[in-house]
Every structure is written in structure tokens, then in C-alpha cells.
Amino acid sequence: MKNRDKWITIVFLIFILAIPILTVARNMLPSQQGEALTEEEKAILEKNGTLINDGESQTESTTSTEETASNNQPKETRFERFQRRINHFTDGLFGRTKLIAFNTELTSLLTGGTYIESTQTLMGKNNMFFYKTELDGHPIWDYMGINHFSEAEMAAIAANLTATREHLAEKGIEFYTMCIPNKEIIYAENMPDTIARVNEVSRGEQLAQYIEENTDLVFVYPKDALMENKQKAQLYFSTDSHSNQIGAFVNMQEFFRTVYNTHADIDSVEFRIDDPAFSGDLVMMAGLTGKYNIDKYYVFELDSADKAQYHDQTLLYVGDSFGGFLSWICKGYYKEVYWEDARDFQYSMYDKYKPDVVIWERAERYCEVFMEPTLITQ
């Protein structure tokens, strides 16, 4: 018995020591730095609007943007430098993706499929996954209601949105704002019981209420519309952090109801199924790609849009990864539609696209961004 335990310990230590050695060896080869996305993973990110270009995700792009911006920031401390180097090393660990997948599947197996070990993905009830990162917004804090805005912050957002509307009005452009509720808010019943809600009013809803009560701005927060329609159809992917195109349709119809006083039900239009076994970004981040192909990938048929809702205008849609589906829905209702990532927005785009209407959209977990003069900085 003692000999067996000794050999088990030796094998374990060899395995542990081999990982950093192989990692260093691999990183010495320029062509092997980092683990490239698989074709299946690229397809997932392209479908949900997260992939920006070949092999670069929105999360990766955000990181590089932040690193570039940090050149103008105060010099990092020794601890911050040490932490950054540790993170860089662990991100490049040899076999990291396979280790993540193994760890995830092991914890799922040991807990009877009720829990997975992941820094980015939370397993909820009924095979519904949620985004729990703290590096890309705080969706769990939003759900718990523990990160509300202060009065001063909401006043600053309202002032910035008002200034943006007035600036664009001088250019003859209509300006509207949308804040898309986090998946955790709409499907709260599928969140784990271990995560308690301190306040059921999230900061997105808090901000929408403040703007409605204190300004004449159009700020669309379509929570009520989503709650009303989720019994008719699934509005968010189970395996992805985004709404599907049915959910995107509901969001845009709430926009049309608010702005134009028109509305169409989801039963009045057509959606085709492009993929009956889709798997999204949340299972990919947990290392479970291909293990939960349980979603249907719907595509809105543009020809089924009600012509009475058509607007002979050019729309510039400035948003985040939710904007891929939302701007697609808009193609059925506007003469021309252009979608731009808010992080890449440039003032010259007004001259490039000559829009009649601008929609500035952010997912709820990013709604503090409305405090920034993104659309009027020249």
C-alpha cells in the first residue's frame, strides 16, 4: 500500500511539474503562443456577434484596448506587475483548455449536473447557463441588486445623454438609447438558489426609472416586454450570454412602441431555424463546447416584417455584441442600417453614413458607459 501511494505521489508531482515546463517550452515557439480558437468556437462567436475578426473575440479586443490605454495611466505597482505576469502565464498554460474542460466536467459529475467550476460561467437550473465574470461588467451584482447607481451618477448619465441628443439634433439626427436587460434578470427563476437577491430592482431598471421621472429622453429598457413574451418563446439562449433573435425582435418592437407608437407580436412574423443544435459562448468559456448543443438558432425573416412599420430612413446602430441581432431586426424596418461597435466609434461616421436616426445601445452590465461622451467626442 505504501509503495502504491509513493508511486501515485511521484506521478502526480511529475504531472504538476510538467505543466509549467511544457508551457515555457511552448511559449518559446512564436507560432505556438496562445491557444487559437477552434473552427467550432469561431462559428459560435460569429453567430452571436462576439467575434470581431479572425480569432479575436470581444473580450480579447477589450483587453488589448485596455492595455493600449494603460500606456497613459500611472505606472503600475510591483504587485500589479506581478499579478499581470502571473495572469499572462496561467492564460498560456499548456493544455489549459483541456484542463478547464476536465475540471468543469468533473465538478458537474460530482454534483449531479448541478454545479460546474468556471470563473466565467454559472450553471443554473434547467440547463441554463449564466455569465458570472467580474472582468466584463458585473452581471451577478446586477442580478443581486448590490451595485446601484448613486443619484450623482444617474444625473451625470442623464446630462450626457441630453447633451448627445442636443448635439445630434443640430445635425438633423434623431437620437435614442436602449439598455438590454441581462439574461439573469429575465430568467431569474433559473438562477441558483445559492445566489440571493438583495434588491430585485437592478441598476438598469433603476436608471430607466430615474430617466423617465427626471428627463424627457427616450431610454428603452425592455424588461416588461421580455417578461410578457417569455412564456410564448425562449428569448435568450440557454448556452449563450445573449438573447436570441426572437428576444431581439421583442426588444426592437418595444423600441418601436416607445418611439413610433407601433407594435407587432412575435406570432405575426416568421423565424427560420438555421441550427437546431446550437451551443453558445457560455459553454465554450466553461470548456464544454459540443457538450450542450441544446439551443435552436433562429433567424428573423426580413420579408415578414410589417410594412406599416417601415421607415424610409438611414439608421446608425452603435452598440455592443447584442447589436448584431438587434441591427439585423432593424433591417426589416429601415431603408438602410449600419451597425458599429461602440468601442470603435468615430465621429467621422456621421459623415460616412449620413444617418437620420442613431440608436446607442448597451447591455445592462455595461450601462455605466452611458456616462461617457462617446458619440459626441470629436
What residues does each domain of the chain span?
A: 2-98, 123-371
Q: What is the pLDDT of residue 37?
A: 61
pLDDT < 50 regions, the chain: 19, 22-35, 52-74, 79-80, 82-83, 86-87, 89-96, 109-115
CA distance 48 to 62: 17
User: How many CB atoms within 10 Å of residue 1?
Assistant: 5
CA distance 64 to 50: 15
Question: Which string of b and e fits 290-317 if b means at least 16 CB within 10 Å?
Answer: eebebbbbbbbeeeebeeebebeebbbb
Instruction: Match 460569429 to its residue by C-alpha cell.
Output: 46
The answer to whether the beta carbons of residues 9 and 17 sit under 8 Å apart is: no
The alpha-helical segments, DSSP class H, found in 170-280 are 183-186, 203-214, 223-229, 245-260
Beta strands in the chain, from DSSP E residues, in sequence order: 51-53, 56-57, 121-123, 129-131, 174-180, 219-220, 271-278, 295-300, 311-319, 334-341, 357-363
> Residue 271: what are its φ and ψ, rounded to 5°?
-130, 130
Q: What is the pLDDT of residue 119?
A: 77
Is residue 170 classed as helix, strand or coil in its secondary structure?
coil
CA distance 324 to 248: 9
Q: Which three cell numbers stand for residue 218?
A: 427616450
CA distance 113 to 176: 43
User: Per-residue pLDDT tens for 84-113?
Assistant: 554 454 444 444 455 555 555 555 544 444
Q: What is the pLDDT of residue 114?
A: 47
User: Per-residue pLDDT tens for 105-125?
Assistant: 555 544 444 445 577 889 899
Q: What is the pLDDT of residue 118?
A: 72
Please name which of 57, 54, 34 lies closest in space to residue 45, comparing C-alpha atoms.
57
Q: What is the pLDDT of residue 160?
A: 98
Is residue 148 classed as helix, strand or coil in its secondary structure?
coil
Q: What is the pLDDT of residue 17?
A: 58
75 contacts: CB under 8 Å, gap ≥ 6: none
CA distance 367 to 290: 32
State how beta strands 295-300 and 56-57 pair.
unpaired
CA distance 65 to 136: 13
CA distance 197 to 145: 6
What would you report as the CA-atom Rg of the chain, rounded to the nearest whole angstrom? 23
CA distance 194 to 197: 10
Q: What is the pLDDT of residue 288?
A: 86
Please name which of 321, 317, 324, 329 lies closest in space to residue 366, comparing C-alpha atoms.
321
Q: What is the pLDDT of residue 170?
A: 98
CA distance 141 to 182: 11
3-state SS of the chain: helix, strand, coil percent to 5? 50, 15, 35
CA distance 214 to 354: 31
User: Per-residue pLDDT tens for 161-201?
Assistant: 999 999 999 999 999 999 999 999 999 999 999 899 999 99
- Average pLDDT value for the chain: 82
Please name which of 113, 112, 130 lies closest in space to residue 121, comparing C-alpha atoms.
130
